[in-house]
Amino acid sequence: MIKKSKGTAGMITLEATISMLIFMLLMIVVFGLFTILMAQNAIAHSLLQSTNSMSLEAYASSRLGAHDGFTSIGDGLASLIASASDTPAGGRGFASQGDWFRPGGSGLEEAGRARFVAFLADGNAAQAHAFLEGVNVVGGLYGLDFSDSRISNSNNLFLEVTYVLEIWGFIPIEVTQTAVAKLWLNN
Strand partners, 179: 159
Q: How far apart are CA 156 and CA 20, in angstroms?
A: 53
Provide the pLDDT for residue 88: 42
Give the three-class secondary structure for 144. coil
For residue 45, is it within any domain?
A: yes
pTM of the predicted protein model = 0.77
Please check the confidence at residue 99 and state whether its pLDDT lies above 80.
Answer: no
List the one residue out of 37, 54, 21, 6 whose CA is nearest residue 160: 54
For residue 2, is it within any domain?
A: no
Buried-exposed string 80-92: b where 16+ CB fall within 10 A, e elsewhere: eebeeeeeebbeb
Give the tens place of pLDDT for each residue, 116-161.
Answer: 999 999 999 999 999 999 999 999 999 999 999 999 988 899 999 9
In percent, the amount of the chain with pLDDT more than 70 equals 79
Half-sphere exposure of 94 (CA within 13 A, CB side): 13
> Among the residues of the chain, which ranges form H helices?
11-63, 72-85, 108-121, 125-134
For residue 7, is it within any domain?
A: no
Total domains in the fold of the chain: 1
CA 81 from chain centre, in angstroms, equals: 25
For residue 1, is it within any domain?
A: no
For residue 6, is it within any domain?
A: no
Provide the pLDDT for residue 186: 65
For residue 187, is it within any domain?
A: no
For residue 159, is it within any domain?
A: yes
Give the tens place of pLDDT for each residue, 28-43.
Answer: 999 989 999 999 999 9
Give the three-class secondary structure for 90. coil
Q: How far apart are CA 121 and CA 142, in angstroms?
A: 14
Q: Based on C-alpha coordinates, what's the Rg of the chain?
A: 25
Give the tens place of pLDDT for each residue, 41-63.
Answer: 999 999 999 999 998 888 777 77
For residue 83, is it within any domain?
A: yes
Please check the confidence at residue 79 and state whether its pLDDT lies above 80.
Answer: no
Provide the pLDDT for residue 95: 78
Provide the pLDDT for residue 180: 97
Residue range(s) defining the domain that contains residue 87: 12-182
